[in-house]
Structure 1
Amino acid sequence: MKKLLAILSIVPIIFLSGCWSSREINTMAIVIGIGIDKTESGYLVTVQVLNQKAIASKKPVDEPSVILYSEEGKNLEEIMRRFTTKTSSILYNAHLRIVVIGEDVAKDGIKDILDFFARGHEFRTDFFFVITKDTTANRVLSILTPFEGVPGMKMFDSLKNSEDTWASTKSIRIVELVNDILADGKNPVITGVEVTDEITDNKMATTSIDALKQTQVTNRTKYFGLGAFKKDKLVGWLDEDESKGYNYIIGNVKETVGYAEYGQKVKITYEVISAKSEIKADLVNGKPTMNVKIDIIANIGTVDGEFDVSKKENEKILSDIAEKKVKLICKKVLNKTQKDLKTDIFEFGEVIHREYPKVWEKIKDDWNNEFVNIPVKITVDVKINQLGQITKPFFIKEKE
């Protein structure tokens, strides 16, 4: 009996020996960013890996926070395996924050890339995709920003912050991106990133530690508008105003700042604190039309010029000029996508599909041609919430 009890007590230990796929942290290269560029034979992949020595040190070290590795190959799976020839550590992708896709790759199509990230068991679904504009993914990931810690983390945080407070960008994860490509009546957008050259006395960023100490020419990454896709291929770019217009239309504006002019001498800056959008479809003579209703709540930020916001008769003027400005940038992006890019990035097709499924069945196979001619009515309503700490600019002279 005692022997039987001893055996029974040992058996569970065999099955509690730990996770078979576990790894020691010092054997892993923690990947924060992945860049993908086009080559003649396939892809150039750049991985941005945490420099654990620099991160873990309690004392200042003369080393960057990340290490870069690059490798070429015909497909992504092959390339990721080849990295084992360059580092003794195994690439660990569970903490990936940003995937930077080269502009040339995006123009050719990103289905194969998405398939790789969707199938990989180590990849989570919470990282963001961006695409380069007039540069390469390798160069973007090579930019060091020492005062902001890990570059890939900085790109992740910056994208989310700019989406929340400026509204000319849009964060997108793999699930949403795949769904947008597969949908019949919608196409995706992905935020663009570029490299800018700035002259500064602060030595804010550069591509090497030695140069960081010497140069006053700064290379920095900066998000630039949105890349518009038709299915999985990049077809063109939206500038900053067009990108804001897009986000207003789809209801993706949380906060932002905008300005409107009254006459030639007065400029009003608005702080948008809330924005909502509703997109509906109607039928006119059996043909679909779109109605976009945008409701905005804003505070007055600054008043440049002689304009007394406290006067009752000026309240409506404030709302009217703001409404006209928002409507203008919304029409600008609609014109760009309908006449130039010819791609429905607003989900108009999906709205028609939901509200008039029988009509959608008739037009879905030719939706690209239908979209470019569909009438769109935009209505904007701006409510002014606060006029600011003062209601009258200091320099306005009282009339005698």
Structure 2
Amino acid sequence: MRNRLVYMLILMVAALPMTGCWNSREPKQLAIVMALGIDKAPGNKYKVSFQIANSGQVAPGIVAGGSTYGAPVMVYSGTGSSIYEAIRKTSRSVPRQLFFAHIRLVVIGESLAKSGMQEIFDFFDRSRETRLTAMVLIARGGDAEQAVRTLTPLEKLPANAVMGKMMHSSRLWSENFTVYIDDVINMMVSEENVLLISGVKLAGDKGMSAKKENVEQTNPAAILNISGMAVMQEGKLKKWLDGRLARGVIWARNKMESSVMTIDAMGKPKSVSIEVSRGKTKVKTQFANGQLRFHFHIDAEGFITELQVPFDMTKPGGIDSMEKEWAETIRDEAEAAIKQAQSEKCDMLGLGQMLRREHPKQWNKRKDDWNNVFADSEITVTVHTEIRHQGLRNKSYLSNISK
């Protein structure tokens, strides 16, 4: 019994040096990267910009690891033949170790997107520290560095501001949808290899974008806006989609969450506003005599939010006529997007992905020439709409004014 106690005591003493975290790092030793910008640099290199949180500015009173003066973020840049080489080179300028576990946003410069960006995501996929849930955007008409340097109102951390804009834009306007690093990687290794990534664009006085004075006024001189969707094919930027084409793709891909659409009434264009409260798209595939056919059926529900004409919805057939006009508007948008996709021979609608998932044998027969097969396929659209309610009024006060 005594020997057993001795052995246990020896083991307990030997285990004491093993307590604690061998690779622990104090917050004051870390430069926490919130956003990353990647641009094309001369000599087939990459320029990587790191948006680092200044914790003393973001959370006043908590000064460990941060400074109580200056901007809420600092941006450092480095150039290298690879992303990781650029990171290591930047360490010469940053007084703390770059820490990527909290990265939320990756911005790709437009010139890099045009030349091809297939190789740049291996670092994120391989690293134990980075997250594949970081959002990806394309810097439309500019550099990623300038986008991550721009200070934003309301949100101290620009990365959080851009993410908030992207999420609200996709949920409330539906001309964009969010894409994350793992989505990009999965699509790049897929056989159809077409991806849509939303754009972020700097508007206003670009020279003011990185200055603190930009957010110290009621009307910022420079601001970042979510702008369009980049169509990526084989890892390269093919074109931008905006407006009705972008929303038509959203309808076709069953990504509609909510939006506001305007329709004609009483001879006045765009005089009725309808908020889309629900959108559901189903695609039916048919094979006949070697010909591939797709049929989109869109179901939409919504409610009237504004009238600019004295339209009386209490009259028989009043709501029915609005629903019919709304259905025509949705069909026009979806058909315009389909026509654009087929003319470009670019399956931005995701039909190849759906065919591969639901009809793998048929996909295997067509995958080698899918772009031409898709372009020659017969695609039709039907739309069913339902207006659930009309707000607090069935009859607008405009009816009394017109009298």
Residue-by-residue CA offset, 1:96-150 (whole Å, 9 max, x unaligned): 0100001111112211111121111111121100001111111111111142210
Structure 2 match to 1:311: 315
Q: How does 1:129-168 map to 2 (within 5 A)?
A: 129-168=136-175
2:243 corresponds to 1:236: no
What is residue 282 of structure 1 aligned with on the other side?
286
Amino acid corresponding to residue 246 of structure 2 in structure 1:
S
Q: Give the distance between the partners of 1:146 and 1:40, measured in 2 at CA.
A: 33
How far the C-alpha of 1:359 sits from its partner, in A, is 2.9
Kindly state the Cα deviation for residue 254 of structure 1 after the two structures are TM-superposed: 1.3
Measure, in 1, the Cα distance between the counterparts of 2:401 and 2:152: 51
Moved more, 60-69 or 101-110: 60-69
Within a 5 Å distance, the mapping from 1:17-56 to structure 2 comes to 17-18=20-21, 20-41=22-43, 42-56=45-59
> Are residues 1:346 and 2:349 paired?
yes
Supply the AA of the counterpart residue of 1:26.
Answer: K
Helix, strand or coil at the partner of 2:188: helix
Q: Which amino acid aligns with 1:30?
A: I
Maintained 8 Å contact 1:299/1:386:
yes
Q: Give me the whole-angstrom Cα distance separating, in 1, the residues matched to 2:276 and 2:100.
A: 38
| Counterpart position of 2:226 | 223
Residue 35 of structure 1, CA deviation: 0.3
CA distance in 2, matches of 1:132, 1:150: 18
1:363 offset after TM fit, Å?
A: 1.5
1:58-90 Cα deviation digits (max 9, x unpaired) = 499652110010111211110011111001211
Distance of 1:261 and 1:210 partners within structure 2: 44
Q: Which amino acid aligns with 1:32?
A: M
Q: 1:66 aligns with which of 43, 66, 73?
A: 73
1:214–1:220 distance in 2 versus 1, CA, 3 Å: closer
What SS does the aligned partner of 2:390 have? coil
CA drift at 1:46: 0.7
Answer whether contact 1:27 1:90 (CA < 8 A) is retained: yes
The answer to whether residue 402 in structure 2 is matched with residue 395 in structure 1 is: no
For 1:387 and 1:310, locate their aligned partners in 2 and report how far apart those are by CA, in whole Å.
10
| 1:383 aligned partner, one-letter code | E
Aligned mates of 2:34, 2:259 — CA distance in 1 = 29
d(CA) in 1 for partners of 2:8, 2:214: 69
Which amino acid in 2 is paired with 1:364?
Answer: K
> In structure 2, do the counterparts of structure 1 residues 198 and 322 end up closer, same or farther at CA, with 3 Å as the change threshold?
farther
Is contact 2:78–2:90 with CA below 8 Å preserved after alignment? yes
Contact 1:260/1:325 (<8 A) preserved: yes
**What does 1:285-300 correspond to in 2, within 5 Å?**
285-300=289-304
The partner residue of 2:99 within 83, 92, 99 is 92
Deviation at 1:206, TM superposition (A): 3.5
Match of 2:340 among 336, 353, 357: 336
Q: Which piece of structure 1 moves more, 190-199 or 33-42?
A: 190-199
Output the CA distance in 1 between the equivalents of 2:39 and 2:357.
38
Tell me, yes or no, if the aligned pair for 1:281 and 1:355 is still in contact at 8 Å: no
Q: Is contact 2:266–2:311 with CA below 8 Å preserved after alignment?
A: no
The one of 265, 268, 279 aligned to 1:265: 268
Match of 1:14 in 2: 17
Shift of 1:251: 1.1
Q: Distance in 2 between matches of 1:186 and 1:111?
A: 11
Does residue 302 of the first structure (1) align with residue 309 of the second (2)? Answer: no
Q: Closer, same or farther in 2 for the Cα pair 1:263/1:366, shift >3 Å?
A: farther
Task: Please state how far the C-alpha of 1:373 moved relative to its aligned partner.
Answer: 1.8
Contact 1:281 1:351 (8 Å CA) reproduced:
no
Specify the SS of the correspondent of 2:194.
coil
Take 2:310 and 2:372, find their aligned partners in 1: how far apart are those partners?
48
Q: Displacement of 1:392 after TM fit?
A: 1.3
Note if contact 1:255-1:271 (Cα within 8 Å) is conserved in structure 2.
yes
Query: What is the CA RMSD across the aligned residues, in angstroms?
Result: 2.3
Q: Contact 1:34–1:48 at 8 Å: present in 2 too?
A: yes
Distance 1:46 1:398, change over 3 A: closer
Asked if 1:377 corresponds to 2:384, the answer is no
Post-superposition, which runs of at least 4 consecutive aligned residues in structure 1 deviate over 4 A? 59-62, 210-217
**Residue in 2 aligned with 1:361?**
364
Once residues 216 and 7 of structure 2 are traced to their aligned partners in structure 1, the CA distance between those partners, rounded to angstroms, is: 71
Structure 1, residues 310-344: CA drift from partner, whole Å, max 9, x if none? Answer: 2221111111111111111111211222213x211
Identify which range, 138-147 or 33-42, moves more after superposition. 138-147
Residue number among 2, 7, 10 corresponding to 1:4 in the alignment: 7
Aligned residues, how many?
393
Deviation at 1:372, TM superposition (A): 1.6
Instruction: Write the letter of the residue equivalent to 1:280.
Output: K
1:196 Cα shift?
Answer: 0.7
Letter in 1 for 2:27: I
Any idea what the Cα deviations from partners look like across 1:337-377, whole Å, max 9, x if unmatched?
2213x211222112333444333222210111111221111
Superposed displacement of residue 248, structure 1:
1.1
1:182–1:231 contact (8 Å) kept in structure 2:
no
Bigger shift: residues 2-11 or 313-322: 2-11
CA positional deviation for 1:193: 0.9
TM-score normalised by structure 1 residue count = 0.92
Q: Give the direction of change, closer, same or farther, for the CA distance of 1:262–1:51 in structure 2 (3 Å limit).
A: same
State the shift of 1:213 in Å: 5.2
Q: What CA distance in whole angstroms lies between the structure 2 residues aligned with 1:379 and 1:260?
A: 18
